[in-house]
Amino acid sequence: MSEANKDRDTQAELHKYLVEKNINELFVSIVEAILLNRPENPIGFMANYLFEKYPEKTQRIIKSQDEQKMQSLGVECGNTERIASFIESDAESDCSSVNTRETVLTARRRSSDCSSAFSRESIGVNMRQLSAPQVPVRSQRRKSVCAEKITEDVVADSELKVIKKTEAEAARISTILKNNLFLSHLDEHQTKTIREAMFCVEKSDGEVIINQGDKGDNFYCIEEGLVHVFIDSRDCKGGRNKVKTLTSGDSFGELALMYNAPRAATCIAGGEVRLWALDRVSFNVILMKTTMDKRKRMSDFLKNIQIFSQFTEYELLTIADTLQDEAFNDGAVICKQGERGDRFYVVHQGTAVCTKSQNNGTSMEVARLSPGSYFGEIALLTSKPRQATVTAAGDLKCFSVDKDTFDRCLGPLNDILMRSIPPPLV
Higher-scoring residue by pLDDT: 298, 345: 345
- 101 assigned binding-site residue: no
The answer to whether 254 is annotated as binding is yes
What is the per-residue pLDDT across 56-112, written as a single tens digit (0 to 9) for each? 777 666 665 555 554 554 444 444 444 444 334 443 344 333 343 344 344 344 444
More confident: 305 or 193? 193
Greatest Cα pair distance, the chain, in angstroms, is: 90
Q: Is residue 311 part of a domain?
A: yes
> Is 189 inside any structural domain?
yes
Closest CA to 307 of 372, 383, 403, 371: 372
Considering the domain boundaries, does residue 297 fall inside one? no
Distances in Å between the Cα of 107 and the Cα atoms of 18, 45, 78, 84, 264 are: 44, 33, 12, 5, 49
Identify the pLDDT of residue 169. Answer: 94
pLDDT band at 146 (very low <50, low <70, confident <90, very high): very low
CB 217 within 8 A of CB 281: no
Residues 6+ apart with CB under 8 A from 110: 70, 75, 80, 126, 129, 130
Provide the number of structural domains found in the chain. Answer: 3
Domain that holds residue 43: 39-129
Is 40 assigned a ligand-binding role in the annotation?
no
pLDDT value at 344 more than 80: yes
Q: Would 294 be classed as within a structural domain? A: no
Average pLDDT rounded to a whole number, residues 231-257:
83
Give yes or no: residues 158 and 270 share one domain: yes
Q: Is 82 flagged in the annotation as binding?
A: no
- What's the average model confidence in pLDDT over 154-181? 84
pLDDT (0 to 100) of residue 73: 46
How many beta carbons lie within 10 A of that of residue 213, not counting itself?
12
Over residues 250-302, the pLDDT tens digits come to 999 888 777 667 888 999 999 999 999 998 888 888 888 888 888 888 888 88
Over residues 392-421, the mean pLDDT reads: 75
* The model scores a pTM over 0.75: no
Looking at the fold, whether 74 and 159 belong to one and the same domain comes out as no
Same domain, 164 and 243: yes
> Is residue 26 in some structural domain?
no
Q: 276 and 198 share a domain? A: yes
161 plus 280 within the same structural domain: yes
Domain match, 320 and 407 both: yes
